[in-house]
Amino acid sequence: MVRVFMYFPGLEVPHLCTQCHDYPCVQSCPFKALGVDEKTGAVEVYRDKCTACGICINACPGQVPHLHPNRKHILICDLCGGDPACAKICTKVGYNCLTTVNRGQDITYDTYAIRPRDVAKNLAINFFGEMGKEVI
């Protein structure tokens, strides 16, 4: 699931769950409402245990989990059972920005788990120069 943050009008920052190797969202849940699918390595939400307390949101380096708009549980990318729809549609429409890869042992995906506010601030500086520091 792609989550889009907009800290400044016109400056949208799409953010993806990086499926961190240590799963801080899973580790942070006091209700054991999150787990890891053994097949895909994706985070699973056990809706019957989730209280939507939001602790996992703050634990996530990218702040990607979010509250379901109508129900009392968190939404986190489950990699669509190993066949991510976001990557398929991205390729289908020709953007070619998302792709699936096999996770290698020598890559740390935490590198990509950057707070969206920091990404937005860097974009604002790139777009607006030094004035961008004041935007966000």
Q: What is the pLDDT of residue 35?
A: 96
- What phi, psi does 132 have (nearest 5°)? -60, -25
Integer-rounded Cα Rg, in Å, for the chain is: 16
- Read off the pTM: 0.76
Residue 8 φ/ψ region, left for φ over 0, alpha for ψ in the -120 to 50 degree band, beta for the rest: beta
Least confident stretch, 2-6, 17-21, 29-33, 106-110: 106-110
Q: Taking the domains of the chain in order of start, what are their residue ranges?
A: 13-102
Q: Judge: domain 13-102, CATH 3.30.70.20.
A: yes
Is the CB of residue 89 less than 8 Å from the CB of residue 95? Answer: no
Whether the per-residue pLDDT at 88 is higher than 70: the answer is yes
Condensed to tens digits (0 to 9), the pLDDT of residues 30-76 reads 999 999 998 888 899 999 999 999 999 999 988 889 999 999 999 99
Q: Which residue reads 């801080």 in tokens?
A: 24
